[in-house]
Structure formats: C-alpha cells, structure tokens
Structure 1
Amino acid sequence: MSGTSEKVYVEIIKKIKTIIEEDNLQAGDKLPSERELTDRLHVGRSSVREALRSLELLGLIETRRGEGTFIKPATGHRLVEVLASFILHDKKAKQDLLETKSIIIRDCIELAVQRINDADVESLNDLLHQINEADHPDQLQQLSYQFKDTVIKLCDNHLLYRLWIELSGYGSSLHGNTFLLDSGECSQIVEHLKNGDSKKIIQLMSSEL
C-alpha cells in the first residue's frame, strides 16, 4: 500500500469512527450504507468498501446479507486499537506511548501500595494459586492478565485505571502480543505490595514496555 493510499485509508477509518460517535451508534446498531458513507465522507465507494472490509476482518463490524452492516459487541477489540496499528508506525508516537505507559504504571503502583488491604492481598493470593494450578496456555494467559489488571486497579483511581486500559490497547496493536507475568513474578509482586516496595513492583510491571 502506497503512502498516499494508506493515508486515505486511515482517514476513512477515523471518519467512520466519528460518524459512529456523532450518530450515537452502539453495539448491534446498523451502520449507514456504503452509499451514504460515500456521500458523507466525500470519498470513493471502493475506498469505503475496503475500509469496511478491514473493520469486519478485525471483528468490529459484521455484514448481514440483505440487512446491512452492524456494529459487533466488544470482544476485547477497540477501534482505538485499529487506528493504532496504522498510526503508531511513527517513531515519536511509539516513544510517547511507551513513556506515557511507564508514567501511568508508576503512578498506579505508588497509589496501590498505599491503599492495598488484607482483602486485596487475599484476592491476589487466590489468583496466584490459580496461576500455579493452570495447565493450559490460554487459561494461564487469562489469569496472568487478570492478575496484572487487579494490581493496577488497586490504585483505586478510575481515571488512571481507564488510561492504563486504553494505553494497553495501543500496546497490543503495536507489538502484536500481550506481556504476561509468570507465577514467580506474581508471587514477588504480592510480597512487594505487602512490604510497600513500589520500586520493585514498578520494575516487574514495566517489563512489558
């Protein structure tokens, strides 16, 4: 794909996202037709069709014969991730992303060590036990992500937590994989949380960067 066509392609996807927001469309709602999108976006119909096909391949929308194109319920994919796969080819954008993720992780952990309680430790130990017992890679991946998510959520700051979720979405698009903590690292994090050692936790949690 040439630089010019890639730029047009990215712009179409961004504009479709804007239309979804402007029309207040939710999962299950029908998207405007190809003809309407072509008119509203002032681009060629073939370009609109290509953008829609890509969104469908990514599981964000679905086409029902004779009915139209509909927004699929969220299943871990976000439109922001789709945009990231195109936009984050820029070296400065990549560096900014990594730097911001590092700041968010640090702030979340520093709050977490101040706010963790006995019930939180019990919850993490339960997850650690499940990780040690997991015998399937998919189960281990899910539990590892759940453990990391639980640790971040201990910051008890909804905005910081949402920022981490969104930035993690960008990261998975950028790297094509998800960083996983192993059982030993999870065990260390629990101990460091109990001891209030935020620096060591930040070092372990930042391995994904």
Structure 2
Amino acid sequence: MKKTDILLKPVEKDSLYLKISDAIYSYIKLNNLQPEDKLPSERDMAAMLQTSRNSVREALRILEDRGLIYVKTGSGVFVRDPYGENRSITFRLTECTTEELQELQTILDHQAVLNAISRGTSEEKENLISIASELMEKYSHNIYSHTLDYSFHTKLYEMGRNKSIHQVIQGVRDTRFIQRENEDGENDSIWLETVPQHLQLAQAISQSNTPAALAAIDEILEHGFSLINHSK
C-alpha cells in the first residue's frame, strides 16, 4: 500500500455488510484504482474498518455480485473493468466548468435513457426496477448506498448498448463523487432525496414512458449538480 493512499474508515454496525461494501467502493474511487488493480488483503481491510474478516468477506461478495470487483483464489481481490473490455480511446476533460459538465452529462444521460427504453430487454428493465426497489427499501430506513446506486446506473448504461456513452458518463460521475466525498462534515444522507426518482425512472423506462423517464433523470442530475454549486 502506498503512503499516499486514502485509508478506509470504520463503519457503524447497522446494515453492516452494505456499509462495508460502500466503504470499499469509496476506497476504490478515492484512490483512483483501475481495472486489475489489487485491493488490500481481507486482513488489512478488516483492520482499517475495525470489523471482522467474515464481515469484509460478505461485503466483498456483494461487490462481486454487483460487478465491481473479482476475487482470484490465492491471489487476492482485484478491481473489475466495468465495461467488460479494455478501452481503446482515452481522454480527459480539462478546464470544464460545473455548468459545462452538467450540460454534457444531461445530453448523454438523455440518450442513455432513450437507448435503454428502445434497446433494453424486458428482463433488464425488471432488473432495473428490482435495484431501484432495493434502494427504496433502504430509503425507508433512512439509508443510502453508493453500491446500489452504482449498480443502478451501471445497469441503465449497459441496457443502452453504447460503451462510449457509458464510459464518458461514468467519468463525469466519478469526478462528482470525489468532489462530494472530499466535503468536510458531509454524509450519505444528502443523496437520499434522489432515491424515489430512481424508482420512477426505472418504472418509466419499463413502461416506455419517455417524458416521465427524462423528467426523472433530470431531477437526479439537478440534485447532484446543485450540491456541487452550493458548496462553492
């Protein structure tokens, strides 16, 4: 582990496995780990999180089920390529304002939603509703999960069958995620407000209700970017 790594933080005991999986997800993002990068050992993660190895192992199973990591027996835990293949084009957005990023993501997310409506299978649409319902179940207990949110948007972009849109949006989302994670005194409750819109979006996609789907994604995006604007 490099001295510059941002360490995992201890978590509360409620919804333990989900909170541990979120903490590991945050570790991956904040340390900018790339596909095939190796995570700390179960023992080290358990020590950083001040929990048991069994709890860490269960959280890793959740992340593996969600497609974020994979476990190689005898070698350790590694970050998985969420796009299923190596990217042949690499680029970076520089000197972009928040407003410019919001305009770009809105255009791309609108197309992703349209693609999901027209290209997603019935099974995929039901799966999207299932993930959104899981988010809502946690929402009813005042719990938000980055892991479930990641799963929702990954499934949405995969349904659109356009890897370029998926990769660019994910880059913008990761940038926003890191900006929010670095805010002092902030917690995950700031994202709870968007959970009902995720279910509305999934249902609208399943019903091929384009206006409702675009309205829901706009509300989700507006909330996320408003947080960045208010922090300036």
TM-score for the superposition, normalised by structure 1: 0.51
Unmatched segments (≥5 aa) in structure 2 = 8-26, 34-92, 226-232
Structure 1 unaligned blocks of 5 or more: 1-27, 31-52, 60-73, 81-86
2: CA distance between counterparts of 1:161 and 1:113?
A: 15
1:155 aligns to 2:160 (yes or no): yes
Q: Which residue of 1 aligns with 2:208?
A: 196
What is the one-letter code of the residue matched to 1:111?
N
Answering whether residue 143 of structure 2 is matched by residue 137 of structure 1, we say: yes
| Counterpart residue number, 1:77 | 30
Aligned-partner residue type, residue 153 of structure 2 = K
Partner of 1:123: 127
8 Å contact from structure 1 (residues 192, 198) kept in 2: yes
Aligned residues: 134
Letter in structure 2 aligned against 1:157: N
Partner amino acid for 2:150? Y
CA distance in 1 between partners of 2:129 and 2:136 (Å): 10
What does residue 10 of structure 1 align with? none
Partners in 2 of 1:180 and 1:145 — Cα distance?
14
Compared CA separation, residues 125 and 106, structure 1 to 2 (3 A): closer
The letter of the residue matching 1:185 is Q
Change (3 A) 1:183 1:166: closer
Q: For residue 192 of structure 1, report the CA deviation from its aligned partner.
A: 0.9
Match of 1:146 in 2: 151
- Provide the rounded CA distance (Å) in 1 between the counterparts of 2:28 and 2:106: 26
* Whole-Å separation in 2 of the counterparts to 1:136 and 1:192: 24
Tell me if the contact between 1:111 and 1:155 (Cα under 8 Å) persists in the aligned partners.
Answer: yes
| Identity percentage of aligned residues | 11
Q: In the aligned structure 2, how far is the partner of 1:181 from the partner of 1:143?
A: 15
Q: Does 1:94 align with 2:98?
A: yes
Corresponding position: 1:112 with 2:119: no
Tell me which amino acid in the other structure corresponds to 1:114. Answer: S
Q: Distance in 1 between matches of 2:30 and 2:176?
A: 12
Rg larger in structure: 1
Deviation of 1:76 (Å): 1.9
Match of 2:169 in 1: 164
In structure 2, do the counterparts of structure 1 residues 132 and 97 end up closer, same or farther at CA, with 3 Å as the change threshold? closer
Pair 1:58–1:93, CA change in 2 (3 A): farther
TM-score normalised by length of structure 2: 0.47
| Residues 112 and 143 of structure 1: CA distance in aligned 2, closer, same or farther (over 3 Å) | same
Out of 189, 198, 208, the residue aligned to residue 186 of structure 1 is: 198
Residue identity matched to 1:113: I
- Per the TM alignment, residue 187 of structure 1 is displaced from its structure 2 partner at its CA by 2.5
Taking structure 1 as reference, are residues 79 and 122 closer, same or farther at Cα in structure 2, changes over 3 Å only?
closer
Structure 1 runs of 4+ off > 6 angstroms? none
